[in-house]
Structure 1
Amino acid sequence: MKHILLVDNGSTVIGKLAQLLAGNDFTVTLANNFDEQRLKEASIYADLILLFLNMSDITDIEHCLLKQTKTPKMIFSDTDSEEDRIHAYELGADDYLIQPCSQRELLVRIQTVGRRLESKNNWPELKSVKPEDIDFDDRLNTISIYKKSVVFTQTEFRLFKYLFERKGQVVTKQELQLRILEKELGKFDRNLDMHISNTRRKLFEMQLPKTLINTVRGKGYSFSTIS
């Protein structure tokens, strides 16, 4: 557990915490709690999400981050009521830490969350995927296959879903460019290829078959489930 997403809600200790984590060999990514797109993208690569939360005033974005994101989450709060702790765990928190706390306790709790979730996240790569195994969340630009979820950018999600809805067909680059990127395909335009590559990479990172999206040489792309 080396990459930590630190969600900033304006806390005065956020800078000190980032320095502490970086000084203990963690890679730290900072994101504001009002930037939904940035949070979704950053959470893909994080091993742990640390959030400063007021449990009585959770924003819609914070609620979605807790409820929908599969990355382990630790909440920092300045209240220690039983109701708040239970609510946090019901929303999807993996740990709940009261501020202020010692640096030693924080580091130990991070290590504990990592050990507890290591076996849970050590899934084998799926060898069988059928169309009915794939669920789409249009609001969060997320697909789920069994217990594995992938958060895409809006463009990647639309691209994946467009190909899925035409599974078994070869969709030309020109069609994808017009329907998804909403512009003509230029001779030296590589934007579509970049989005395809990023989509496949995110599938691979979640140990899902990146071959769900196949390249048909000289023609375009096709969606192909595996059975």
Structure 2
Amino acid sequence: MKKILIIEDDLAIGNLMKMAFELNQFSYELSVTGQDALQKILSYQPHIIILDLGLPDLDGTEIIKKVRSWSKTPIIVVSARDDETDKIEALDLGADDYITKPFSIDELLARIRVALRRVDEIQPASNLFTNGPLTINFLSQDVCVNEHEIYLTPNEYLLLEVLSRNVGKVLTHNFLLKSIWQDALDTDIPNLRVFMATLRKKLEIADSPLIQTHIRVGYRMIHY
């Protein structure tokens, strides 16, 4: 049974999540403070963390920093902070996803399933990646969509590889820029958008969109 740690000081929202997780056969623990949450992450060892940023003792971003210093456990932020800068900061620090309150329980459960599948399917030693119609051979850098090989420029391929190695995870503009050009600046975001547009054009033969845009935040490869 998958274990979820809820870090949420609003008991009404915490109880709503607990009922949903019981119905979907998840095990769970609830922390209402950041310090208690950090202890439970070590003792309970959850498969996924649901994190509110506005905690009474620690800002949620501090928890993301601490957890990411030693763990890759998926973190889904569920917060009332709806400003893009808050989303970008949390995602840049290592959060896997960001949902703004008020939220749909069905959406939260869907995001949890995606994050858990991504963890279950990680195969570090494998050179072959498959996601729906997309197949990538990381060794030869061959890319096929619906069994048709497509040609990508070096930058397009790097973008696709980073997205595929983080399938289901929202990647910020800054993260993508630094992954491709280490000395990139925020002013390079228009160039990133151009490369992303040409990459998507080449992926259009897929039955369904492979890359989702998060306006003013970044991009996510959809998990099939």
TM-score category (smaller protein): 0.3 to 0.5
Give the structure with higher Rg (CA). 1
Q: Scaled by the length of structure 2, what TM-score is found? A: 0.47
